[in-house]
Structure 1
């Protein structure tokens, strides 16, 4: 596993070597030629990494070579990052304080001559180490491959035969697909219906069951089954379709036909035939290839259908002419039925009630995934020792014996297909708790801090890139329940996908859970799950990530961590019992993400925190006793995300220096009263005030660039700007959420400025809101409108049905709205019935 993430490590490192900042610094230090050689040598190593990764399993020496390379690359990256740290430090020194203070700060922090000698020595050392390991590549007969176009292990080709009794729990899904197939088709276009789901979900089994249903035999003159897999070359597909379309062996060897002969033969075979074509296990995302095939088979009779199975939502969207059918996990009851079928001979489960109790727990860990249930059930067939069953129950599924058709090859196949930049992002999920509901901003903060994000294009920021990567992981069925909650995305991982993350990440990432468990050699990212482990472990000095357990209170461990782990990029100490942090935290000059959420005893932060010029994320939410922000916070010139809970009255003017800030949240800041006068925050996109009881007005001068505005339970805030200045033209707001605001009676006029941009509006628990303005109908981009517990709101604007892009409307616990818009019976139901998703609910009250 030494090379599983190495290609991405190499790409990131080489990318750093091309920066202008590094070029200027290397010239100043006299190491320009050394750095150029490092880049050339790194490129030579990178060229053979993909081949080495595939061959390492048969060669222990090759695996050790990859481990050495990874160590050199990580050490080299630390050295290169040191240049950026020094450059940022000098930037702060040169823009703050008097000349005397600048000089004193500079020479107290760094001796320039000593720094130059140290860095030159480290660069030359890295150059020598890389040169040595690069020379060793010739010992392994490795092939060059300069881009991540690896050949992945393919699954076995499928066929259409099935024993119907093997299909359990898919009756409802089957009926939906059959209904879609039997619908009348369009004369002009071929109807394509995709079944989408993660590997092992049973897409092929469902397609087989549908394909063999008698009703379809009567409806279609010809049925064809083609297993596509990774081969979407036109000629090969034409051969497969023709072979499947033939009722007997072809009279000629069509394998020798050229493409022109094949397409003529196929068009003649399908002409005026009403057919069903199943394309099983499609991975192709190239629309040109699909359109080329579709054009050739559209000679069919009206009503012909193509049924597609794929793991990829992007593939389904490209091919579909209907809504995709998302295949989800089996119910617990059906899962148990599948398990019993594979673990016992018929009726034998009744003889082993104790095994069945353990079996229920085994089924639970499979998360409704049919292939996983079948794999574990089959592994226990004819085994009646309860110890063996408990071993399976308590083991990670990846540590159990695997066959070629087991769950590990099935799911890992999807992982192998990921581009290298997504592999490390996916591996990062191993640090999160299983079954957690995650949010995009936290995942993005982690990826950004660890250097996993690709370089943003012009006009993009790290948040944009993070959302794109998450959407790609969703498209490839790695995350589920992916949903937009306005400006942010929530998502989850199937338990077995989380297990896959643990498996593929195990060299670099570790979750320490048990007493006497050893920290693996060369681990870079560590999460400690139990508080009592803190005083029992020795911390590796090369750590880049450390996540403390809830309830952490070991001061010796904290001090040891801060003194030893000088290359930390991410430090997460949530729900701890520390009252303060040591000044030595200011020495973590590589730190990019500092999370200190829900530390209810934390009273102060040392001012040395403001020496962390690389810091991008600072999380201080729910630190109820925190007296104030540290002095010098304006020195955090790379800070992008700041979330605060504090007792502070007057916030420092230094906040105006945070010109990189994109996310700003004040939570439970009861003393927050000021209006941010003189502060612009030019890059700010997300602004949130929650539970700030004394906040009376909004900072209107910074709102024009905001894309997400959230105001929750700020009882005194007045949203109106006043009569003389009630317009803010050309707002960029995309998401607006107003929750528990008793002062809100009517909508302020200035909201009209976002008529062209707002796509989500959420209004909750605004007990005095009486009306929505008619100008809301000018909101041409509005897609989602949520209104909850607004009892005085009598109706929606009269012409609400004229909102051109409204796709979702939810009205909950609003008695008057429920009466008027109740589905089917409300007097104004007809005005909203056309909307794609409508929810109108009223909670029943007790008598």
Structure 2
């Protein structure tokens, strides 16, 4: 809710840039912050698909937000009449299904290209029967229509119409059988990937990298000819799921995308996942022997007795912010028991030390320790994990230093660092020839680090965020000479640099490859280098919260492939870039998507 109020005046495409850093707030601080943001303000709060019938929680929430203006409104949707009567202060509105005619119209829209249905009258007749069986539920119509799009095989349409799955015992308006039909028609590679959505909570905001890394670890992303990059194939999988209407709230940010899975689609993922995928909560009595993937969603649900039967777990993850593991003993028992672990995400945990036994996990590919509030050191044994491809200690604010010998992790492809160190040795990174993504986050003491440009020849994405003491990214931020061997750099994120007055000229070294550039929270940034207009491959440029920035380079019109430009929190620059009327608009008008904020935070 705090971050929703932060972005209430922003378009979704800029929302991620305005997320407030509340990762380390305790519950009292969160309550205080929310009350402050709502105090006296008029707001609309939408609570979608509520299932919790605990009235005391609802009263607690109302007491928390009643500091807002009296004109504020709360809109609740639920599939439970009991909850509607408990929460409502006005009579409930019962949403009716679509009429048969509207059902058929929606089905035709998703099953055919415009006007194409007249060429296939025999399929249209079958479509009427399918639409009728969807009982007025739009998601069912849309999903089935999408699954039959551009398929003109009469037998496939008859299979959907005549499938016995329609006859499954179901509650009123239950569309799980309908969705299962669409699932059955997916190619096998998508069906295998789809079940992994069940490990995350409903309404979870997925990122492309997160879910694709999970698929990749288990060999679900395969290049047909061996030449395509796996991340490109994974993106194709996501796009195909989106085209089949299994994903929603889809936002494309170029190098990545974010999306959600409809709650009914999540039900389907839970249904097809069976006992191999287990969500561990307070209702879990034991972990079945056949369990392969575990998701921890409640802190108080972790007892040793739960895990006595399971031996072959491959995945453990903690997907909910604030929910993690606080027992080193339990963690050590997992490491001893689950020798075949490949994916271990212990985000938001609070143990002080990672057990030395971590080195026993020879097959581990991903280790995520993000936002651990207590961990101070990593064991040197972590450097024995030769198969590790991703390591994240992002947001581990108490971490004193990275372990010596990190350079042994020669297969690392992604590395995200938070540390209290002031210097990082270049020797530790010299052998990381496969590193593609590197992030420095909240490294408050960091002053120098290695000659990355010369060493990390495979680096494609660089994040540098909230490193306030950084004197130079040697030679990243001080060397005015362009660095020629940034030949693979595609994505660059620079955030929270209060002392810099201009951007580094070394960016020119990536002029032939850089696709996206994000500049956020440079409070004293006065100008952008003229060489910015030489980034001829740049497709996305985002400039946020740089209030002293007054101008753009004169040759911005040379960025002819720029597809998206977002500028916000830069009052004077926003004024000059206003569509149609701003003095800079003539050199920006060729950009397809332009979002410019005004001094009040609104957008045009």
Residue 655 of structure 1 aligns with which residue? 429
Deviation per CA, 1:165-209: give whole Å up to 9, x if none: xxx999xxxxxxxxxxxxxxxxxxxxxxxxxxxxx9x79964756
- Residue 665 (structure 1) aligned with residue 439 (structure 2): yes
Q: Can you give the 5+ residue segments of structure 2 that lack an aligned partner in the other structure?
A: 1-93, 132-140, 152-165
Residue 538 of structure 1 aligns with which residue? 307
Maintained 8 Å contact 2:328/2:353 = no
Deviation per CA, 1:807-836: give whole Å up to 9, x if none: 322222322233333345445545545543
- Residue 683 (structure 1) aligned with residue 441 (structure 2): no
Residue 721 of structure 1 aligns with which residue? 479
What is the aligned counterpart of 2:121 among 240, 248, 251? 240
1:656 offset after TM fit, Å? 1.9
Residues 796 and 314 of structure 1: is their aligned pair in 2 closer, same or farther, counting only changes over 3 Å?
Answer: farther
The structure having more radius of gyration, on CA atoms, is 1
Residues 313 and 835 of structure 1: is their aligned pair in 2 closer, same or farther, counting only changes over 3 Å?
Answer: farther
Maintained 8 Å contact 1:782/1:806 = yes
Residue 693 of structure 1 aligns with which residue? 468
* Larger helix share, 1 or 2: 1
> What does 1:6-155 align with in structure 2 at a 5 Å threshold?
none
- Residue 762 (structure 1) aligned with residue 518 (structure 2): yes
Residue 366 of structure 2 aligns with which residue? 593
Residues 596 and 205 of structure 1: is their aligned pair in 2 closer, same or farther, counting only changes over 3 Å?
Answer: farther
What is the aligned counterpart of 1:402 among 164, 170, 173? 170
TM-score w.r.t. the length of structure 1 is: 0.49
User: Hey, what's the Cα distance between the residues in 1 that align with 2:351 and 2:586?
Assistant: 58
User: Hey, what's the Cα distance between the residues in 1 that align with 2:201 and 2:544?
Assistant: 31
- Residue 807 (structure 1) aligned with residue 563 (structure 2): yes
1:601 offset after TM fit, Å? 1.2
Deviation per CA, 1:544-585: give whole Å up to 9, x if none: 122358252234422322222112212222222211122222
Deviation per CA, 1:772-820: give whole Å up to 9, x if none: 4555444443333322333333343445455423332222232223333
More displaced stretch, 753-762 vs 534-543: 753-762
User: Hey, what's the Cα distance between the residues in 2 that align with 1:770 and 1:487?
Assistant: 27
TM-score w.r.t. the length of structure 2 is: 0.67
Deviation per CA, 1:241-295: give whole Å up to 9, x if none: 7999xxxxxxxxxxxxxxxxxxxxxxxxxxxxxxxxx9x99xxxxxxxxxxxxxx
User: Hey, what's the Cα distance between the residues in 2 that align with 1:654 and 1:775?
Assistant: 32
What is the aligned counterpart of 1:558 among 331, 335, 349? 331
- Residue 484 (structure 1) aligned with residue 257 (structure 2): no
Residue 68 of structure 2 aligns with which residue? none
Between the two proteins, the alignment pairs up a number of residues equal to: 473
Maintained 8 Å contact 1:720/1:726 = no
Maintained 8 Å contact 2:275/2:288 = yes
Q: Can you give the 5+ residue segments of structure 1 that lack an aligned partner in the other structure?
A: 1-167, 171-199, 211-224, 245-277, 282-307, 319-397, 701-717
1:427 offset after TM fit, Å? 0.9
Maintained 8 Å contact 1:204/1:309 = no
Residue 514 of structure 1 aligns with which residue? 282
> What does 1:52-451 align with in structure 2 at a 5 Å threshold?
206=102, 208=104, 238=119, 240=121, 401-402=169-170, 406-451=174-219
Residue 470 of structure 1 aligns with which residue? 238
Residues 435 and 729 of structure 1: is their aligned pair in 2 closer, same or farther, counting only changes over 3 Å?
Answer: same
1:589 offset after TM fit, Å? 1.6
- Residue 497 (structure 1) aligned with residue 275 (structure 2): no
Query: What is the CA RMSD across the aligned residues, in angstroms?
Result: 4.1
User: Hey, what's the Cα distance between the residues in 2 that align with 1:826 and 1:169?
Assistant: 46
Residues 744 and 692 of structure 1: is their aligned pair in 2 closer, same or farther, counting only changes over 3 Å?
Answer: closer
User: Hey, what's the Cα distance between the residues in 2 that align with 1:699 and 1:466?
Assistant: 34
Residue 100 of structure 1 aligns with which residue? none
User: Hey, what's the Cα distance between the residues in 2 that align with 1:317 and 1:791?
Assistant: 50
Maintained 8 Å contact 1:784/1:808 = yes
Maintained 8 Å contact 1:534/1:554 = no
Residues 693 and 768 of structure 1: is their aligned pair in 2 closer, same or farther, counting only changes over 3 Å?
Answer: closer
1:629 offset after TM fit, Å? 2.5
Maintained 8 Å contact 1:509/1:526 = yes
Maintained 8 Å contact 2:491/2:517 = yes
1:407 offset after TM fit, Å? 1.0
1:441 offset after TM fit, Å? 1.8
Residue 495 of structure 2 aligns with which residue? 739
Residues 554 and 812 of structure 1: is their aligned pair in 2 closer, same or farther, counting only changes over 3 Å?
Answer: closer
SS in structure 2 at match of 1:498:
helix
Maintained 8 Å contact 2:463/2:493 = no
Maintained 8 Å contact 1:760/1:785 = yes
User: Hey, what's the Cα distance between the residues in 2 that align with 1:403 and 1:726?
Assistant: 65
Deviation per CA, 1:289-342: give whole Å up to 9, x if none: xxxxxxxxxxxxxxxxxxx98878899899xxxxxxxxxxxxxxxxxxxxxxxx
User: Hey, what's the Cα distance between the residues in 2 that align with 1:243 and 1:516?
Assistant: 47
Maintained 8 Å contact 1:613/1:637 = yes
